[in-house]
Structures are given as structure tokens and as C-alpha cells.
Structure 1
Amino acid sequence: MDHPRLGRYPAARHVIAHLSDTHLLEGGARLGGRADTVTQLERASEQIARMAGGLDAILVSGDIADLGEDDAYRRVRAALDPVAAATGARLIWVMGNHDERAPFRRVLLDDDSGDESPVNQVIDIDGLRIVAVDSSVPGYHHGILEAETLDWLDAVLAEPAPNGTIVALHHAPIATPLALMDVLELRRQDEFAEVLRDRDVRAILGGHLHYPTQGTFAGIPVSVAGSLAYTMDLSAPARHLVGIDGGRSFSLVHCFDDAVVTSVVPVGTFGEITSFGEQFLAEVEALDEEGRLDRFSRKREWVTDG
């Protein structure tokens, strides 16, 4: 259903829920014996499920299973498959350094071939091309774009998509203030930048860092989703790498005709400070511009409970 536009910008053409670093373990075991990754994924799933009718894709950008176990992948699917069905969103899985290619393919992509080559995919979402790129290195945690992957990506991007392209990979090509994470950064970034040059790539989505952040690479916006497993504490003492049991989030990516906007969504149940429901919005939509300003913009006394 179309609704009246209340401001300068139209509704987004595509909306993506961007999750990352779920790190589930077999049997739903706690990560490190402490972090309840299953509950955090369930909480995020419940929040995403509220967006029925307003979501086009759910993208999980790697480290889906902490040890690449089949059961862990099945648990992630059990949490997100119903959400995708309820919202009508396409599920997109991206390889991370904790993932293992054969079980990733077998459980998440229904591919029992045992193929150990990079898991690279192209998904079309109503004209928006999403390219999932495998940056994992078997046996290691740093990232690299293998020559065959770069050649494949170059061929994919040779023809523009109707609504442009989003590239998703686990090891986001972005600077981090965490010194140790530099050891685990993406290799062959110069070659990657060359492949992206003068193409229709509108944004790069990534994970790996365990905190939400944004930047640019080769002139392209980069958005890194926070982790659902645990969060890196950027306020920890210098030269320390500290993961904390809190601060979890996912991102929403709104793709407009001429812009891409990313927003961070905290995961959890929190008390409301203010709330305006659907009925109030409908009342505002029914007014002319002057009436809308009077109804919602005019300053009024803030009433407190004391």
C-alpha cells in the first residue's frame, strides 16, 4: 500500500537486514562457555520479524558457525528461515573465516557436492544485484581475495545491474583502531579496488570486526555490521583486544535511487521513552503540510511523571 510522502525523500527501493558474526556452536553451546549466542540470534530474529512487508533481504556476512559444524548451521537456519518466510525476504549467506566451505554449502545452500572452492554467489533482488564474495582462507582467520575470485568478480561486474550492485564479504576493506585486527585484515585490497573501479557498486557490506562501523573503500561506502555473539570494546586500554558480553546489534541498509543509508539496530528488549503508533501516523498523513507541522513539529510542554 502506498502512503503519502511526508518529506523530501521517497521510501527506499530495497531494504536489507544485515547481520554478522553469529558464531553458533553445535548443540547451542555457549561461546567461550559464556556468550549465549542462540538467545541473541533469537532476539535479533524476533526484531527482524516485526518488519514484515518492509524487508527484501536478510544478509548474514560471515562467521555464522564458530567451528563450521553442521548442527550450528542448522540452528541458524532454524532461527532465520521462519523470519524470511514471514517477511518475504531472501536469505543471503556469506562465508567468514570461522566458517567451513563444505558444511556451509551443505546446510545453508543445500549443496552436498563437498566443493571446497570459494563460495561466491550472485543474487538478484528485484534489480538490485547482491554479490557475495568469499574472502576466507582455509585454516586461517585473515582474509584474502583469491585470483579466481577476483577474476570471477570482474566478469560479474562487467555488466551493470538495473538498480546497481552491493558487494558483501566478511573481511571488510576498512581501517580499524584495533591493532591486532590488522593481522587479520583483507589481503589484495589494491587488486580488489581495481576490479571495483568505474563499476556500479553502490556499497560494500562486511563483518569480522565485531563492532558496527562505516567508512569508504575505493570511493565506495563501506558498512560493517556489529556481531550478535559479542562486541569488541573500543574503549579498552590501548593495544588491548577485549570482547564484551553486550552491545550487540545488526544493521538496516536502505537503498534509495541515488543513495544508500545504513542504520544500527540495538538487539534486546528496552523500556520505551516515547511511542507514536500507526494510528497517530495515519492522522498526520491525513493532514496538509501546515497541519502536519502543527500536529508534530510545534513545540509543546514536555510532561513528566515528576
Structure 2
Amino acid sequence: MSLLKFVVLSDLHLGPPGVPVNGLDTGARLAQAVEVITRDHADAAFVLLAGDLADRGEVAAYHHLRDRIAPLPLPVYITLGNHDDRAAFLSVFGPDRDDPQGRVSQVIDAGGHRIVLLDTTEPGLVGGRLCQGRLDWLDRRLTEARDRPVIVVQHHHANPLSLPVDEIILENAEDYVAVLQRHPEVRQVIAGHVHLPSTSVWRGIPMTTLAGSHYSVTPHVPGVPGQQRQLEGPAQMAVVLATDEGVTVHFQDHSERHLTMAPGLFH
């Protein structure tokens, strides 16, 4: 039984070097993640970055990202989140990353699987949206892979989580899941954006979120009193193990602090 192993990082929220974001040194956190991946997962096939690479989309933040991930001994594939600026990102990483229909999306074929790294962002929106071009692009990429299992990695969550973050969910998730349902070999959708880990099955599709590398939030589901809290950690990556028989997602922390953050850090 062959095994495909890869790592997902999300919500890096980098600023320019030396500039804290919400009181946290996100550059140091990414350096920790690179160290952990190199130490524990150098045998992985690749690393995926699932958006919110920068906190405010500055060109300097993308230079910072490029420098921080350079030591990784693995290929790195990247898509965007709502905090990112597409033009600034492309100015650093190259205009060839912008597909005419898929935008900053791509496919990776490895270990008998197709991995779809999907750009769910729309300029001016905090929530996600997939234009018709990207829906058609996704449908074609899935049709090409009818003979193999598929895992989709993206920034925005599509499935309602009964959490405050549902206010900034993927807006046209119904259209999106209709595309996924036409392709029975979609085994997992992995998203960032929500700053906490979750697992769900929505409309028959297994869906997972990871906390990501910035602050985390408490699971403020209906019935929990008070306000949702922001926590310093854990800064978290997803380690994905995929075989012919199924997909397992492990959550590995690369920073283990869980202190409640002061509300004044958020504006």
C-alpha cells in the first residue's frame, strides 16, 4: 500500500521582518514550522501554504515569506487567503502563478492522488467566493482525475461550523459542493481561515480545518457563554497521510502556548 504524505500550513499572517502581528512574532512562528517540518517530515512529498500568507498584503511581507520558506527541503505550493494581496504576491513570486481561470490555483499529481490547491479569494471580500471561471476550472481538473482519489486544499471553509467565523464563509458553497458531488473520488477538503481545528461531513464530503500558524480561537459554539477568546497558540500544521484506502489528517503543534490574548491586540 503506497503512502502519500504532505504538510499543510495556513494563516501565517506575516508582516515585514521584525513587525509583530497582533502582538505575535509570526516570522519566528513560521521559522519554527520550517524547523519542525525539516526535523520530522523531510520525507513528505511537499508542503502546501493555504492562504493568509501576509496579514496586510505588503510586498515586504511576501519577501519575508520567500526568505522564511527557502530552507525547506521540500517543494512548496502556494495559494491565497482573504488577507493577501494578489498583485503584491505575484510581484514577488511571479506572474506565472496566476492562472487565467483558476487564479492562484494548481494541481499536484503524486502518490496516485490528485491534490487540488484552490484559490477561494475574491478582492474586497473577507469571505470567499468562487467565480464561474474557477468553478469550471475545478470541474475540469476533477474530471481529469476520475481514475484517482482527490484531496482539495483551500483557504476558506465551505461547510457551516456553527461558529462566529461562519459570517465570512465561502459565499457560494452550494455551487462549490455541487461540483465536488459530481466526482465521487473527492476524499477530503482541507481549509484554513477559521483558526481552529474541526472535522465535518457536509453534503457527503469530508471537510477539515486546521488552526494554522497565527493565533487560535476557542470553539464558541451555540450555548457557550461569553465571547470567543483568541489564544496565542497552538501554532499548528496539518500532516496528511493518504493511501488507496483513505485519508488521515494529523494536527501537529509547532508552538504550544495557549494563553488568552488581550483584546487590545485586535483592532
The interval holding the TM-score normalised by the smaller chain is 0.7 to 0.9
| 1:174 matched residue in structure 2 | 159
Per the TM alignment, residue 65 of structure 1 is displaced from its structure 2 partner at its CA by 0.5
Residue type of the partner of 1:147?
Answer: Q
- CA distance, structure 1, for counterparts of residue 41 and residue 62 of structure 2: 24
Quick check: 1:138 aligned with 2:130? no
Shift in alpha-carbon separation, 1:64–1:51, aligned structure 2, 3 A? same
- CA distance, structure 2, for counterparts of residue 62 and residue 92 of structure 1: 11
Q: What are the equivalent positions in structure 2 for 1:71-90 lying under 5 Å apart? A: 71-83=60-72, 86=73, 89-90=74-75
The answer to whether the Cα contact below 8 Å between 1:106 and 1:114 also exists between their aligned partners in 2 is: no
For this pair of structures, how many residues does the alignment match?
Answer: 253
Residue type of the partner of 1:262?
Answer: V
Match of 2:92 among 107, 131, 134: 107
- CA distance, structure 1, for counterparts of residue 241 and residue 60 of structure 2: 32
Residue type of the partner of 2:251?
Answer: V
| 2:241 matched residue in structure 1 | 254
The worse-fitting range, judged by mean Cα deviation, of 63-72 and 152-161 is: 152-161
Per the TM alignment, residue 27 of structure 1 is displaced from its structure 2 partner at its CA by 2.8
Match of 1:243 among 220, 225, 230: 230
- CA distance, structure 2, for counterparts of residue 144 and residue 75 of structure 1: 27
- CA distance, structure 1, for counterparts of residue 99 and residue 148 of structure 2: 31
Per the TM alignment, residue 192 of structure 1 is displaced from its structure 2 partner at its CA by 0.9
Structure 1 vs Structure 2: percent identity of aligned residues?
31
Match of 1:50 among 33, 39, 49: 39
- CA distance, structure 1, for counterparts of residue 63 and residue 141 of structure 2: 30
- CA distance, structure 2, for counterparts of residue 113 and residue 195 of structure 1: 23
- CA distance, structure 1, for counterparts of residue 129 and residue 104 of structure 2: 13
TM-score by length of 1: 0.75
TM-score by length of 2: 0.86
The answer to whether the Cα contact below 8 Å between 2:117 and 2:153 also exists between their aligned partners in 1 is: yes
Match of 1:228 among 204, 213, 221: 213
RMSD between aligned residues? 2.4
- CA distance, structure 1, for counterparts of residue 226 and residue 104 of structure 2: 34
| 1:31 matched residue in structure 2 | 21
Per the TM alignment, residue 113 of structure 1 is displaced from its structure 2 partner at its CA by 8.9
| 1:187 matched residue in structure 2 | 171
Per the TM alignment, residue 193 of structure 1 is displaced from its structure 2 partner at its CA by 1.3
Per the TM alignment, residue 147 of structure 1 is displaced from its structure 2 partner at its CA by 1.2
The answer to whether the Cα contact below 8 Å between 1:102 and 1:114 also exists between their aligned partners in 2 is: no
Per the TM alignment, residue 63 of structure 1 is displaced from its structure 2 partner at its CA by 0.3
The answer to whether the Cα contact below 8 Å between 2:54 and 2:61 also exists between their aligned partners in 1 is: yes
The answer to whether the Cα contact below 8 Å between 1:61 and 1:93 also exists between their aligned partners in 2 is: yes
Any gaps of 5 or more consecutive residues in structure 2?
258-267
Per the TM alignment, residue 115 of structure 1 is displaced from its structure 2 partner at its CA by 8.3
The worse-fitting range, judged by mean Cα deviation, of 163-172 and 110-119 is: 110-119
Per the TM alignment, residue 241 of structure 1 is displaced from its structure 2 partner at its CA by 3.5
Q: Deviations over 1:55-88 (max 9, x none)?
A: 01111111011111222122222222321xx2xx
Q: What are the equivalent positions in structure 2 for 1:115-130 lying under 5 Å apart? A: 118-130=103-115
- CA distance, structure 1, for counterparts of residue 71 and residue 229 of structure 2: 34
Quick check: 1:196 aligned with 2:186? no
- Secondary structure of the residue aligned to 2:179 is helix
Match of 1:164 among 131, 142, 149: 149
Quick check: 1:210 aligned with 2:190? no
- CA distance, structure 2, for counterparts of residue 241 and residue 164 of structure 1: 37
Q: Deviations over 1:148-180 (max 9, x none)?
A: 11111111111226542211111121222422x
Per the TM alignment, residue 99 of structure 1 is displaced from its structure 2 partner at its CA by 0.8
Any gaps of 5 or more consecutive residues in structure 1?
1-9, 271-306
The answer to whether the Cα contact below 8 Å between 1:61 and 1:96 also exists between their aligned partners in 2 is: yes
- Secondary structure of the residue aligned to 2:95 is coil
- CA distance, structure 2, for counterparts of residue 240 and residue 112 of structure 1: 43
Per the TM alignment, residue 197 of structure 1 is displaced from its structure 2 partner at its CA by 1.4
Shift in alpha-carbon separation, 1:139–1:198, aligned structure 2, 3 A? closer
The answer to whether the Cα contact below 8 Å between 1:178 and 1:241 also exists between their aligned partners in 2 is: no
- CA distance, structure 2, for counterparts of residue 258 and residue 106 of structure 1: 41
- Secondary structure of the residue aligned to 2:155 is strand
Residue type of the partner of 1:139?
Answer: G
- CA distance, structure 2, for counterparts of residue 263 and residue 203 of structure 1: 13
Shift in alpha-carbon separation, 1:104–1:233, aligned structure 2, 3 A? same
